Amino acid sequence: MIIKEMIPQNNINYYNNLLEAFISIWNDPENLKYLSLTMKPFQEETISYWLSNHLDQGGQYFVVQEDQGEILGISAVKINNIEGFELIGLGVRPKAKRAGIGSSLILHAINLANDLRYKAVDGSLFADNFIMMRILLQFKFMPVQIKHHARTDGTDLVCMKKYL
């Protein structure tokens, strides 16, 4: 499985591909409740802002694509010398789930953090996202904090950390 970095601020094709993929993946009913605090669909303007300003915010996007170019999975990381290394988003198209794409993107983030000499990787997920919880635990992430009632339906947000 090949993981590729896309820098949308520098490449209009990457921008367009990521915009379509984010809208499709993040707003898919199977994914939305695990990615949105409000459980409302992400608007194109919001995603466009992320893609247009990610370099200034320390963000990087990594994707897994089909041979035909369709993005099957996206991970977003935030790298900051003060706040640390954080996995801030991960989504996989429902048709591509259970193919190891999410695990590969997480492992890529861990390896990148390690290569950049960070001592930990942070990430958060909703407490009802059992599949992602299992995957993070397999990678030896540990719960470090719970933000109670973070999602609009009252579901808690579990903050996790993997020490490198």
Domain carrying residue 116: 3-121
Q: Is residue 150 part of a domain?
A: no
Domain assignment present for residue 87? The answer is: yes
Alpha helices in the chain (DSSP H): 12-27, 29-35, 44-53, 101-115, 130-138
Number of domains in the chain: 1
In a domain, 7, yes or no: yes
| Three-state SS annotation for 49-66 | HHHHHCCCCCEEEEEEEC
At 56 the pLDDT is 85
pLDDT at residue number 100: 94
State how far Cα 9 lies from the chain centre: 18
Q: Which residue has the tokens 């694509």?
A: 65
Q: How far is CA 106 from the centre of its chain?
A: 9
158 touches 127 (CB < 8 A): yes
Q: What is the pLDDT of residue 90?
A: 97
* Assigned domain for 164 exists: no
Q: Kindly report, residue by residue over 33-65, the tens digit of the pLDDT.
A: 999 999 999 999 999 999 998 888 889 999 999
pLDDT average per 10 residues of sequence, the chain (164 residues):
92 95 95 94 94 90 92 96 95 93 97 97 97 96 98 97 98
CATH assignment at residue 71? 3.40.630.30
Structure tokens of 37? 């605090």
Residue 105 DSSP SS3:
helix
Report the DSSP beta bridge partners of residue 75: 62, 90
Q: CB neighbours of 119 closer than 8 A, spacing ≥ 6?
A: 163, 164
Widest Cα–Cα separation across the chain? 42
DSSP label at residue 42 = P
Whether 158 is in a domain gets the answer: no
